Every structure is written in structure tokens, then in C-alpha cells.
Amino acid sequence: MAEARDVVRIPDAKVALSTASVYPESTATAFEIAARLGYDGVEVMVWTDPVSQDIEALRRLSDYHRIPVLAVHAPCLLITQRVWSTDPWTKLQRARAAAEKLGASTVVVHPPFRWQRQYARDFVDGIWRMANETDVRFAVENMYPWRYRDREMLAYAPDWDVTKEDYRHFTIDLSHASTSRTDTLRMVERMGDRLGHVHLADGRGSAKDEHLVPGRGDQPCAEVLEGLARSGFDGHVVIEVNTRRAMSSAEREADLAEALAFTRLHLASASSPSSLSSPSSLRVPRR
């Protein structure tokens, strides 16, 4: 008979592939790769690829590959300022509608840029209003200061550290935590039971947002995943890595297979009763 310390605890968290992880290949390719590698679903990054903006096209891809859309990332990037409207609230409304129609549980949203002054002033209250109108979670994502040489620009408002504000749900992005040189485990603790979504990627503290394959940097990717497993986390873990330097489609797919294997390994962590009660254990309460 297996002893308690040998029991493997597998949480309900699903592991998804961000469609951004296959760039410069297409959104359609992301569905194909996710299905072939055995991901549980995809997070659609809404951006300049027309397919990512087309709900019916996304539905057809999901049905064809039998891979669900688990989350929608609203078009919050600099390069998507004109995608789905130039009005940021309209973007979020369309992201919510897309999530509802596609059966996704989460919309990922960045805090506003500082130059979006009215949007930034209303953002916290506005996100609460939108969250109260739907079952879809609006999970606000941690960002980072922009750095150039020895200069730092605070590009986001109210703050790049979203734990300083009152949001119902958070997304933690480990690559962003690395770029901001934040203690990732402390940030997870501050998010507590409002952590609903994870963007898993590694980093080495560079001023660039690196999005390395987990295990290739110095972020506590394994520790975060094992903490999620111990706590019974039931949100989504999304692989959001940069594969632009891959020399071929096969190399890109190998990176995404490695990322998935790393994630499943550390989510299925063996935990004994003694380790669960250890004060050093990372705890993310179940909602």
C-alpha cells in the first residue's frame, strides 16, 4: 500500500497554450499544436491576426481540433490599440462577449497605459462593474516598469503591481514578475484566493520581457506550480512563451512540448501531510 508521502495530488487546474506562444505562426496553428501535444485548451490572444478577432472562426477551430477556448486575452498591447475599437472599454466588452460565446471562463486584461488618463481613473471601478455583469472572470495581470539603460518609466496606471489595487481576480505572469524584479512568491501570496489565472513563463531579470520556456530562467516556476497543486488551485495555467527564435516549426513544437511536460510534472507533485503543514509551503487558497 502506498504511504501518504507517495500520493500524487493532481489539481483541477487545466493547462492551456496561449496562441501568442506560436508567433510568428498563426492562431490556427496554435489550435493544431495544442491538440497534437495534449494541452487542455487554448487562451486566445486577440491581436492583429484576423482569425484571433473572429469569434466564428475561433469556434470552428475549437470544434475541428476538439480543443476548448479557456480564456480570451483582451487586445491591450501597443500593437493592438486599434483592434476591436480604439475605445478600451469597448475592447473589454467585446472580449467578454467573445468569452461568453466561446465558453471561456476568463478574460485577461492589462492595467491601462498612463496616457489613457480617463480609462486609468475609472479602471478599478469599471472592472468591478463589468465583473458584476457576467460569470466570466476579469483577471487583471501584473505588468512591469519599462527600463532603458539606467532609466525607468512607469508606463501603467494605477500601477504595474496590480496587488496594490482591489480587483476580484488576478493573473500572475512570471515573466513580467521577472522583468519587474519582483519576488514572485510574495506576489502570489498577496494575490491569495483572488489568483484565478497563471501565465507560466521564465525569465532572468532582464529589462526585456523574456517569456522563456519554464526551467530555462531563474523564476520559481516549479515552486509556484507545486504550491498550486498543494492548494487545490482550480484556475488555468497558461503556457505563454516566446518561440520566435525557433529555427523551425519542429523546434517550436519541441519547446511547447517541453513547457507542457514541465508544467504537468510540477502540478502532479507528491505531497505528504507534513509538507502540507510546513510554514514554508506556498499556499494559494482555493476559491
Query: Can you give the pLDDT of all 287 residues of the chain as single tens digits?
Result: 445 455 555 667 899 999 999 999 999 999 999 999 999 999 999 999 999 999 999 999 999 999 999 999 999 998 998 999 999 999 999 999 999 999 999 999 999 999 999 999 999 999 999 999 999 999 999 999 988 777 777 899 999 999 999 999 999 999 999 999 999 999 999 999 999 999 999 999 888 889 999 999 999 999 999 999 988 898 999 999 999 999 999 999 999 999 999 999 999 864 433 343 333 445 444 44
pLDDT at position 7, please? Answer: 57
pLDDT at position 10, please? Answer: 64
Taking the whole predicted model, whether its pTM rises above 0.85 is answered as yes
Contact 227, 282 (CB under 8 A): yes
Across the chain, how many H-helices and E-strands are there? 9, 10
pLDDT at position 275, please? Answer: 40
pLDDT at position 221, please? Answer: 97
Angle at 250 between CA 244 and CA 251, to 5 degrees: 50
How buried is 124 (Cβ within 10 angstroms: 0-12 exposed, 13-18 middle, 19+ buried)? Answer: middle
